[in-house]
């Protein structure tokens, strides 16, 4: 058995590994947040900014952070437009498209209040589906058309969620590449 004492210099040697392991764990939380409809990509971006700041922006440089910010913004826009595209592909009226967006936001808020985290996704999907159905039915008085529009909105929303999750994974890969161990 060794009688060597662990000194402060021995502990300090492992701090970067501990910081990076914590960063990776937090990024995984960001991916989980994204997968349940919460702003996980923004969380991942903010983690990258904090990490860059703490290490002096030598690994996660300003230009790297701008690329990550562009990915985050692209993911948000693509998610939004995927739902709108789904509605338009089903030949939704302008009112049904607007209702889908408003219904998704309202449904997400209500769903979060009822069942935090997973309720956000369920509420957003159901809210967009129901609002687009009702708006299209009021506009056209055609149940079949309203169902087609609502299904189109649903498909678009699901595609948007998948795109956003792919962006989260891409951001994670880019950040992980730059971590120093």
pLDDT tens track for 27-75: 999 999 898 778 899 999 999 999 999 989 998 999 999 999 999 999 9
Asked, for residue 71, whether it belongs to a domain, the answer is yes
Determine the average pLDDT of the residues in 143-161: 92
Tell whether the model's pLDDT for residue 145 goes beyond 70.
Answer: yes
When divided into structural domains, the chain yields a total of: 1
Highest mean pLDDT among 44-53, 75-84, 85-94, 118-127: 44-53
Which comes out higher in pLDDT, residue 116 or 176?
Answer: 176
Asked, for residue 124, whether it belongs to a domain, the answer is yes
Tell me the residue range of the domain where 46 lies: 9-178
Asked, for residue 1, whether it belongs to a domain, the answer is no
102: number of Cβ within 10 Å? 15
Q: pLDDT digits over 12-27, tens only?
A: 788 888 889 999 999 9
Q: Which two tokens stand for residue 91?
A: 């030949």
Tell whether the model's pLDDT for residue 104 goes beyond 90.
Answer: no
Asked, for residue 84, whether it belongs to a domain, the answer is yes
Asked, for residue 131, whether it belongs to a domain, the answer is yes
Asked, for residue 2, whether it belongs to a domain, the answer is no
Determine the average pLDDT of the residues in 92-119: 88
Determine contact, residues 147/156, Cβ cutoff 8 Å.
no
Q: Among 10-19, 69-78, 158-167, where is mean pLDDT lowest?
A: 10-19
pLDDT value at position 9? 73
- Measured in Å, how far apart are the chain's first and last C-alpha atoms? 30
Q: Which two tokens stand for residue 161?
A: 């969620």
pLDDT value at position 1? 54
Asked, for residue 4, whether it belongs to a domain, the answer is no
Asked, for residue 148, whether it belongs to a domain, the answer is yes
């Amino acid at each position: 058995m060794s009688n060597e004492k662990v000194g402060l210099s021995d502990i300090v040697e492992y701090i970067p590994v501990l910081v990076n392991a914590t960063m990776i764990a937090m990024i995984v939380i960001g991916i989980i947040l994204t997968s349940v409809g919460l702003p996980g990509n923004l969380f991942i971006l903010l983690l990258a900014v904090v990490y860059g700041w703490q290490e002096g922006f030598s690994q996660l440089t300003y230009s790297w952070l701008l690329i990550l910010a562009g990915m985050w913004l692209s993911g948000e826009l693509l998610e939004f437009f995927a739902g709108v595209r789904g509605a338009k592909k089903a030949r939704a009226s302008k009112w049904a498209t607007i209702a889908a967006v408003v219904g998704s936001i309202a449904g997400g808020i209500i769903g979060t209040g009822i069942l935090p985290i997973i309720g956000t996704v369920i509420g957003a999907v159901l809210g967009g589906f129901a609002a687009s159905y009702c708006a299209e039915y009021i506009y056209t008085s055609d149940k079949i058309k309203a169902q087609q529009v609502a299904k189109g909105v649903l498909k678009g929303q699901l595609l948007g969620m998948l795109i956003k999750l792919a962006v989260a994974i891409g951001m994670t890969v880019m950040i992980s590449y730059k971590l120093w161990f």
